[in-house]
Structure 1
Amino acid sequence: MKAILAGFFYSLIISVTVHAQDQDHKKEILDFQTELNHEFSNPDESPLKARDLKRFKSLDFFPIDEKYRVEAKFVRSDKGLPFQMPTTTDRKPIYEKYGELHFDLEGESYVLSIYQSHRLREMEEFENYLFLPFTDLTNGKSTYGGGRFMDLEIPEGDTIMLDFNKAYNPYCAYNGKYSCPIPPKENDLPLAIEAGVKKFHD
């Protein structure tokens, strides 16, 4: 009987802990969405065209999904040679491949490359900033056709929490006047990432 009760209370503790973690994650993503909407509604920061800004209420997001939050193994690149990253214009900013993220999703293993901007790393507030551009099977359907981005930071250890619920569109998805990096082919995911920001409008 004691063993049964111990097992029950252990299961209860695990259940409460998992629920609390889910709630914390949900709040984190809701805060992320609120911050994005605030930026887009602010005339001084918004990438929206004037006519879109006037009627803007909120970006369209996929439902928050815990399965798209995965722990990825971080592998630092031995030789991160500088290269010119193609963009939607003639601009070619200098980046270097900083490392790779190895992770499992829906029973399959994937690898994404992460990059560091040479310009941004010279700024104190962005010196630990890493850039993750990617494409997936939702592009051109429920998400922007040119792919989406994620912001990461240089980890202290060998893992990074990869949360696709924070995937967002480049400014080019809202206004053609911007110059946006084009995700490298090596970051083309052969699955649908139904998380993060959806396309703006047709």
Structure 2
Amino acid sequence: MDPDTSNPRSATTRSDDAPANDRTRDAAAYARHQLARRRAKDAFFAGSAYSPLAPEQRRSFVGLAYYPPDLAYRLTGLRLEPVGDDHRPFEIETSDGQARTAYRLGRFLITVDGRDVELTAYRVGAASPDTTLFVPFRDLTSGHETYAAGRYLDLEPDRDGSWVIDFNDAYHPYCAYSDSFSCPLPPAENHLPVEIRAGERLAGTAGAAQAADHRPAGPQPGDRDGGP
């Protein structure tokens, strides 16, 4: 049966809809992809001039900590829903108390662990033609298994105009590593009432294997200010 495309949640596809053999094969390939990205992120943190770590931190750096890759947290075929009259700029709070101008670009309606939630996507700073969406969020792991201020996602549209939210790519802002960075804080509308046990986590916390993931090595967005 074709999905009901009038329902924005119905277009969401998850890996557990596939046959068992396909799921196993896809999960193994996906895990290899994520682990490669984690190794690249570690190399960036350990050796790049753009690393958020101070030189003395780099000397003892052994890698970032992550939850194991989990395709159940990769949501595909999403639509960016309009935000109505909320296109006006607003002030987003930051880790150092300096508010910055931000814009709401749309909302995603998703289901996580059987719970329907919304995530708002933003652009921080002056409007630009860049298609990247900034999605900061907190969840029930924040302050326990993950950084208390929250985590970030950077989203790009697929070729067909749909979107993917992959929480395995969730990462800590640079202010998690140094107070010298100013990081946008997730607005209350992106405080999720669920546990997102995917992506970057705090080292030494329960329930996740140590490894290393994130965006590919190289200068990161907001290298000097810890966020977009």
TM-score by structure 2 length? 0.73
TM-score using structure 1 length: 0.82
User: In 2, Cα distance between the equivalents of 1:35 and 1:88?
Assistant: 27
Q: Which amino acid aligns with 2:100?
A: P
**Secondary structure of 2:65's partner?**
coil
The RMSD of aligned alpha carbons is 2.3
| Among 39, 58, 64, the residue aligned to 2:69 | 64
Deviation at 1:63, TM superposition (A): 1.0
C-alpha distance 120-20 of structure 1, shift in aligned 2 (>3 A): farther
State the SS of the aligned residue for 2:30.
helix
Q: Distance in 1 between matches of 2:80 and 2:126?
A: 23
Counterpart pick for 1:103 among 110, 128, 150: 110
Mean CA deviation greater in 152-161 or 110-119? 152-161
Q: For residue 128 of structure 2, what is the aligned residue in structure 1?
A: 121
The CA distance in 1 between the partners of 2:111 and 2:200, in whole Å, is 21
User: Which is richer in helix?
Assistant: 1
Structure 1 match to 2:139:
136
Q: Which runs of 5+ in 1 are unaligned?
A: 1-12
Alignment identity in percent? 30
Q: Secondary structure at the match of 2:199?
A: coil
Following superposition of structure 1 onto structure 2, how do residues 1-202 of structure 1 map, counting pairs within 5 Å? 14-71=19-76, 72-79=78-85, 80-119=87-126, 121=128, 127-155=130-158, 159-200=162-203
Aligned length: 186
Inter-partner Cα distance in structure 2 for 1:121 and 1:26: 34
* Counterpart contact for 1:144–1:200, Cα < 8 Å: no
Give the whole-Å Cα distance in 2 for the aligned partners of 1:120 and 1:151: 16
Larger gyration radius, structure 1 or structure 2:
1
User: Is residue 121–residue 129 contact of structure 1 (8 Å, CA) maintained in 2?
Assistant: no
Q: Which has the higher contact order (CA 8 A, sep 6+)?
A: 2
